[in-house]
């Protein structure tokens, strides 16, 4: 194996040398030797003769072939096929042209242009719709702002107009005050007139027979109603207590200590407490305990009789002003009517913990069998005094600022009513004072009718 492998290596080396030598010699020959002739198949042409030969061939062979083809082949064939071509080709070309035009017309008018118009419409609509949507969005924003503002104003208006419980109570109370004021004015006008027959010695009254007869009748009433056998060291004029013992002397308890005086309370004989009888007799004791003596009819036409009659009229007028003032105090305490509905408002206020008046229900409870009807005085007592005695009421005023402002107006309204009550009382006091001054002045003004000086 080894001798064979050595021979193969030698042969490979010899082949490589021969290849390199042959390649070198071949390239070295062509590169170093310029071509002096053009040969093909043992035919050689000298340099420059090829172009001359080609020119001669073209001139002689090709030109002859072209002349033959033109004159003997192409032109006759063309003349033969031209008429059929001329008959068929232009119409086909026109048909193709018409088909192209029709196709393009159809494509443009029925496909391209409608599609482009639709696209243009869509683009325009999209733009307009975008503007519409933008406007709608702005409108929605404005509407939302407006609705929000309206809602805010509604909330604020509701808050500003929402009354508190205490304000509603006060407002309802004011509505019933008209009825209470009407009852007060009516009773103040009617009650003093009940004493006119007695004060004028009217026929049919004990006073018609004089002061003694009137006193006798009053003594009988005193011993039956008010006499206390324990007073005046047992010399009070009776042996048994009356049905209304000592009540005719209790001015504070019967008048000023009562916020409402139930003047419609029946007399004792009718199953009541006789409140009206007690108040009337008490005022009678204060304003006119003794009636004036009547003037005999036979002296009325005389000068002295006329003067005595005029003096008596002056006395009666002045006494009537006293009755009017006293019954003004009482009339403010007469019950209101059921139509006022003040009972539904004042009674819970006086008895509730909210106002904490500290009053026992018996303090303002009506007599048995009578409904609760607060008077003008009782309403003013609650609204101007009792409701402010507790801190609970002040805490209830922690409310909307507008309600506090309304509460101020409400309190001012009640204050104005209180001032009006004081003004009414002052007017009656002024009338009574004027009557007193008029009576006093008559004693110091010269009586010219008698020609005398001052009396």
Given this model, what pLDDT does residue 216 score?
93
- Phi and psi at residue 187, in whole multiples of 5°? -70, -40
The answer on 355 and 293 residing in a single domain is yes
The answer on 123 and 262 residing in a single domain is no
Q: Is 400 contained in some domain?
A: yes
Mark which of 161, 188, 213 sits at the end of a domain: 161
Given this model, what pLDDT does residue 127 score?
80
The answer on 229 and 368 residing in a single domain is yes
The answer on 182 and 120 residing in a single domain is no
Mark which of 161, 193, 215 sits at the end of a domain: 161
Report which of 366, 154, 379, 191 is spatially closest to residue 276, judged by C-alpha positions.
Answer: 191
Q: Is 59 contained in some domain?
A: no
The answer on 156 and 225 residing in a single domain is no
The answer on 248 and 134 residing in a single domain is no
Q: Is 254 contained in some domain?
A: yes
Q: Report which of residues 170 and 113 the model is more confident about.
A: 113
The answer on 169 and 154 residing in a single domain is no
The whole-number average pLDDT for the span 193-201 is 89
The answer on 284 and 423 residing in a single domain is yes
The answer on 395 and 431 residing in a single domain is yes
For residue 418, pLDDT over 50 is answered with yes
Domain with 292, as residue range(s), is 165-441
Q: Is 262 contained in some domain?
A: yes
* CB 129 within 8 Å of CB 121: no
Report which of 384, 388, 387, 394 is spatially closest to residue 419, judged by C-alpha positions.
Answer: 384
Mark which of 161, 188, 220 sits at the end of a domain: 161
Q: Report which of residues 392 and 230 the model is more confident about.
A: 230
Q: How many domains does the chain have?
A: 2
* CB 192 within 8 Å of CB 327: yes
Q: Is 449 contained in some domain?
A: no
Q: pTM of the entire structure? A: 0.61
For residue 66, pLDDT over 60 is answered with yes
For residue 273, pLDDT over 90 is answered with no
Q: Is 338 contained in some domain?
A: yes
In the structure, what pLDDT confidence band is assigned to residue 68 with cuts at 50, 70 and 90? low
Q: Report which of residues 338 and 352 the model is more confident about.
A: 338
Q: Is 427 contained in some domain?
A: yes
The answer on 177 and 157 residing in a single domain is no
The answer on 284 and 176 residing in a single domain is yes
The answer on 206 and 157 residing in a single domain is no
Q: Is 382 contained in some domain?
A: yes
């Amino acid at each position: 194996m080894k001798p064979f492998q050595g021979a193969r290596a030698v042969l490979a080396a010899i082949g490589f040398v021969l290849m390199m030598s042959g390649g070198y010699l071949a390239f070295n020959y062509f590169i170093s030797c310029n071509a002096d002739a053009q040969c093909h198949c043992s035919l050689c042409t000298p340099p420059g003769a090829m172009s001359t030969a080609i020119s001669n061939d073209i001139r002689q062979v090709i030109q002859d072939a072209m002349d033959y083809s033109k004159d003997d082949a192409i032109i006759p064939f063309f003349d033969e096929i031209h008429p059929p071509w001329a008959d068929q080709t232009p119409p086909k070309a026109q048909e193709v042209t018409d088909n192209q035009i029709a196709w393009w017309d159809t494509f443009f008018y029925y496909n391209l242009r409608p599609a482009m118009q639709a696209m243009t419409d869509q683009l325009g609509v999209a733009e307009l719709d975008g503007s519409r949507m933008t406007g709608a969005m702005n409108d929605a924003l404005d509407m939302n702002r407006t609705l929000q503002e309206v809602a805010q104003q509604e909330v604020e208006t509701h808050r500003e107009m929402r009354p508190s419980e205490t304000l509603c109570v006060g407002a309802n109370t004011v509505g019933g005050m008209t009825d209470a004021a009407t009852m007060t004015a009516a009773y103040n006008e009617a009650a003093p007139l009940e004493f006119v027959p007695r004060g004028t010695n009217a026929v049919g009254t004990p006073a018609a027979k004089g002061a003694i007869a009137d006193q006798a009748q009053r003594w009988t009433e005193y011993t039956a109603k008010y006499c206390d056998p324990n007073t005046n060291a047992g010399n009070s004029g009776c042996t048994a207590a009356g049905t209304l013992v000592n009540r005719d002397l209790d001015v504070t308890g019967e008048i000023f200590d009562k916020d409402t005086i139930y003047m419609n309370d029946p007399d004792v004989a009718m199953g009541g407490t006789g409140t009206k009888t007690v108040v009337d007799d008490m005022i009678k004791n204060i304003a006119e305990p003794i009636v004036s003596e009547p003037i005999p009819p036979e002296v009325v036409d005389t000068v002295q009789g006329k003067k005595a009659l005029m003096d008596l009229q002056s006395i009666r007028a002045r006494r009537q002003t006293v009755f009017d003032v006293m019954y003004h105090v009482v009339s403010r305490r007469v019950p209101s009517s059921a139509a006022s509905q003040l009972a539904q408002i004042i009674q819970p206020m006086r008895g509730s913990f909210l106002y904490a008046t500290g009053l026992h229900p018996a303090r303002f409870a009506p007599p048995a069998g009578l409904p609760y009807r607060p008077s003008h005085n009782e309403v003013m007592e609650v609204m101007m005094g009792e409701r402010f005695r507790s801190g609970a009421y002040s805490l209830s005023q922690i409310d909307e600022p507008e309600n506090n402002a309304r509460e101020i107006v409400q309190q001012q309204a009640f204050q104005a009513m209180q001032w009006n009550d004081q003004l009414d009382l002052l007017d009656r006091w002024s009338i009574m004072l004027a009557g007193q001054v008029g009576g006093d002045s008559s004693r110091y003004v010269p009586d010219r009718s008698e020609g005398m000086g001052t009396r």
